[in-house]
Amino acid sequence: MAWVQLVTVLAVLQCLVFSFFVGSARGKYKVAAPATAGNEIFERYNRVHQNTIEQLIVFLPSLWIAAQYSSPGRMAAIGAVFIVGRVFYLTGYVKEPKKRGFGFGLSFLSTAALLIYALVDVIRALLRG
């Protein structure tokens, strides 16, 4: 489970780094708190961070439940794809929002795979009694 723990820590750390990017963009583009609008680049960083938080709500439990029943190493590898996808999502979205699709797709498919593994394995465990 150490690989699953590592992926978890890296995903949470990545989200924290994204929050620092938002803070930096807030200062650079002079968007005073509590405003969340006012500069397009700031808004892109903010949206990446918010979307990452939204995705983590589904990703993290799916990762842990799937790893409980299936190969933790394989589930961690699928989880690592989520982290890579978020990097592509960030770079694409900040550059041009229409370029966010590849990164979003990678992270979404990773989460979907983990969720399906988790659901199927939990149902199997329940049916076995």
Phi, then psi, of 39 in degrees rounded to 5 = -145, 130
Beta carbons of 51 and 76 less than 8 angstroms apart: no
Q: State mean pLDDT over 102-129.
A: 97
Which tens digit of pLDDT belongs to each residue from 35-85?
999 999 999 999 999 999 999 999 999 999 999 999 999 999 999 999 999
The pTM for the full model equals 0.94
Beta carbons of 82 and 104 less than 8 angstroms apart: no
Q: What is the pLDDT of residue 129?
A: 82
Beta carbons of 11 and 56 less than 8 angstroms apart: yes
Q: What is the pLDDT of residue 105?
A: 97
What structural domains and CATH numbers belong to the chain? 2-128 (1.20.120.550)
Nearest to 107 by CA among 86, 77, 78: 86
